[in-house]
Structure 1
Amino acid sequence: MIESSRLRIARIAPMACPFSFLMLMTMTVLAPTPVNAGPCSAEIDSLQAAVDARIDTTAGVGRTGRESTAATAHRQPTPGSIARAEENLGEGVSYEQVLAALTQARAADQAGDATSCERALGVARSAMER
């Protein structure tokens, strides 16, 4: 009995090797690959965080407005929707130009255009200072 089970294992083991190799190759091909970031991705992320923090601070200190229909539909607010709500209440700074410039910077960043990206970031920074 022991002899026959050893023979059975010896016959199965060589078949497992090609299958393991095939599985390893499949996993290697399907593994995620790193993606190169654009020329100013870090600056965009940093400025977006600063804008989000400023919008959040502004939203936290002012008076409250009516809850919209979209808010009751279990949708999460975006920085843009919060900024528009603040503008409708007559509070805070207009962030529309900042958010539009950040959108332009992201588009230029994805295209690999560092000059346009830096220009759009400059517009966003100057709009934030107003």
Structure 2
Amino acid sequence: MILRIQAFAALAVTMFPVSYAAAGPCAPMIDRAQEQVDARIDAQAGSGAAAPESTGAMLHHEPTPGSIANAERKSGDGSRAQTALALLAQARKADAAGDAAGCERALEELRAMAR
């Protein structure tokens, strides 16, 4: 049993640096932008028009920033949130491809939306 725990701990320790090393140069900026977008979506979620509960909500599934933005888009409130999430996806794609300039462009567009 102890051997299994040690093996699991060794695997966990070795996997963390690999996943961190795979992150592109824009990853920290994308993470900060994601936090800001999530906070804006959360703040907006309670201020818009009410809508019926989704099937996921009735099944006790926790909402994600994407599902909240999608629900707001359907009610007419979430187009900015959807655009912000699309720009974050664009930045992540550019970052994964090693395209720092493309990542910066997407993040700058996202910052411009926030102004």
Q: Which bin holds the TM-score, normalised by the shorter protein?
A: 0.7 to 0.9
Q: Any runs of at least 4 consecutive aligned residues in structure 1 with deviations exceeding 4 A, and if so which?
A: none
**Counterpart of 1:112 in 2: which secondary structure?**
coil
Residue in structure 2 matched with residue 122 of structure 1 by the alignment: 108
How many Å apart are 1:69 and its aligned residue?
A: 1.2
Q: Is the 8 A contact 1:105 1:116 kept in 2?
A: yes
**Bigger radius of gyration, 1 or 2?**
1
Give the Cα–Cα distance (whole angstroms) in 2 for the partners of residues 119 and 93 of structure 1.
20
Compared CA separation, residues 53 and 59, structure 1 to 2 (3 A): same
Give the Cα–Cα distance (whole angstroms) in 2 for the partners of residues 78 and 64 of structure 1.
18
Where do 5+ consecutive residues of structure 2 fail to align? Answer: none
Does residue 32 of the first structure (1) align with residue 18 of the second (2)?
Answer: no
Residue in structure 1 matched with residue 66 of structure 2 by the alignment: 80
Q: Is the 8 A contact 1:39 1:113 kept in 2?
A: no
Residue in structure 2 matched with residue 60 of structure 1 by the alignment: 46
Q: Is the 8 A contact 2:90 2:103 kept in 1?
A: yes
State TM-score, norm by structure 2: 0.74
Letter in 2 for 1:32: T
**Counterpart of 2:14 in 1: which secondary structure?**
coil
Aligned pairs, how many? 105
Letter in 1 for 2:105: R
Where do 5+ consecutive residues of structure 1 fail to align? Answer: 1-22
State the Cα RMSD in Å. Answer: 2.5
State TM-score, norm by structure 1: 0.67
Q: Is the 8 A contact 1:95 1:128 kept in 2?
A: no
